[in-house]
Structure 1
């Protein structure tokens, strides 16, 4: 992987593939750049894709004192490597991070978001002690319990679904990256849709959701699109918190190249 140095000196690892206008892909909780392995081939005939490991994951470095501004600077460093401006596609709490970057003035030409982790009006937020519990579990080395806590109390998954996830091949990655759940929680703030702040974002923004996702994720996508002056929503075929890869690829190619 290639390397770029963020403003605080942290090394951020990224891959550059394809040819065409630059498109930076930004992942959400638990994952590193490999989450896009199936999507990238749909994009590279038309776009130059940049996928990177967020700090604390994969081949990227980290710092002992986390701040959301540092992750914004990481994204900006990757965009600098892409030529100084780029389209950004981001999902889950990565979508929250991308919006924070846009509000901070990072040179994002267009923004595509997949189901940001906000709670629209009428939908309950995670418990008030969510972050404290997460921090305590990680401090005691209970990485698996921290991952389960995040999935249950933030993402709303049932015990049965989490038990199935535990049996899958990605659970080891969930545990390995569990410390970064504190970062993702910080990015989400109080989980409200920050409508007043989003009103300042003039970046053309496409907000996507799956037709089979959770009600709270669908509502968050719609509320986010409504709060953005140049935002609009689109529902696409898929499953829970996932859009069919070929369809997502075609939408992102069209969005990036026109």
Structure 2
């Protein structure tokens, strides 16, 4: 992997593949750049992709103190390495980070998002004291319990869904990056849609949601697109919080190249 140095001196690792105009990809909670492996396979004939490990994950470094602004700077550093004004795709909490970057004027050709997890239309955010309890579990080394609490109380999983995840091969990887869950918690904040700031954002933006996602994620996608100065919403066949690459990527190619 290649590396770029962010504004605070943290090394951010990224993988460059393909040919064509640059496209930066960043993911959400629990994931490193490998979440995009199958997507890159679909896109690399049309774009030079830059999939990166958010700080604290994979081959990227970290800092002693976290702030959302540092992750916005990380994205800006990768965008600069990609040529300065790339296409950008962000999923889940990564979608919120790309919007934060867009709202402070980071230069993007076009922006596509998968289900930014704002809380709208009466859907509630994390309970009081969530961040403090999450930190406490991590300080005790209870990474599995922290991951479970994050999924139940912030993401909105049912206990049955959590058990299914815990019994899957991905659970060990989830526990391995559980120390970054406070980062995603900070990115999500209180969950409120920043309507006025989004309205001032003029980058052309496609907000994608899945036909089989949660009601709150669908509502968030629709309201985000509505709030943006140049946003539109697209629903595609998929499962909870995911659209398969063979469905998502043709839509992205059409949007970015139109």
Short-chain TM bin: over 0.9
What's the counterpart of residue 34 of structure 2?
34
1:93 pairs with 2:89 = no
Q: CA deviation at 1:211?
A: 0.3
Query: TM-score w.r.t. structure 1 length?
Result: 0.98
What's the counterpart of residue 107 of structure 2?
107
What's the counterpart of residue 246 of structure 2?
246
What's the counterpart of residue 21 of structure 1?
21
What's the counterpart of residue 256 of structure 2?
256
Query: TM-score w.r.t. structure 2 length?
Result: 0.98
What's the counterpart of residue 178 of structure 1?
178
Give aligned pairs, total: 258
Assess if the C-alpha contact under 8 Å between 2:24 and 2:50 holds in 1: yes
Moved more, 128-137 or 71-80: 128-137
* Matched position secondary structure for 1:250: helix
Q: CA deviation at 1:257?
A: 2.0
Q: CA deviation at 1:35?
A: 0.3
What's the counterpart of residue 78 of structure 1?
78
> Deviations 1:75-115 (Å, cap 9, x if unpaired)?
01111111111111011111111100111111122110000
Q: CA deviation at 1:244?
A: 2.0
What is the alpha-carbon distance in structure 2 between the residues aligned to residue 244 and residue 34 of structure 1? Answer: 15
What's the counterpart of residue 158 of structure 2?
158
Mark the runs of 5 or more structure 2 residues left unpaired by the alignment: none
List 4+ stretches of structure 1 deviating above 6 A. none
Moved more, 115-124 or 47-56: 115-124
> Deviations 1:43-67 (Å, cap 9, x if unpaired)?
0011110000000000000000111
What is the alpha-carbon distance in structure 2 between the residues aligned to residue 129 and residue 67 of structure 1? Answer: 19
Assess if the C-alpha contact under 8 Å between 2:126 and 2:190 holds in 1: no
Assess if the C-alpha contact under 8 Å between 2:4 and 2:81 holds in 1: yes
Mark the runs of 5 or more structure 1 residues left unpaired by the alignment: none
Assess if the C-alpha contact under 8 Å between 2:10 and 2:63 holds in 1: yes
* Matched position secondary structure for 2:173: helix
* Matched position secondary structure for 1:207: strand
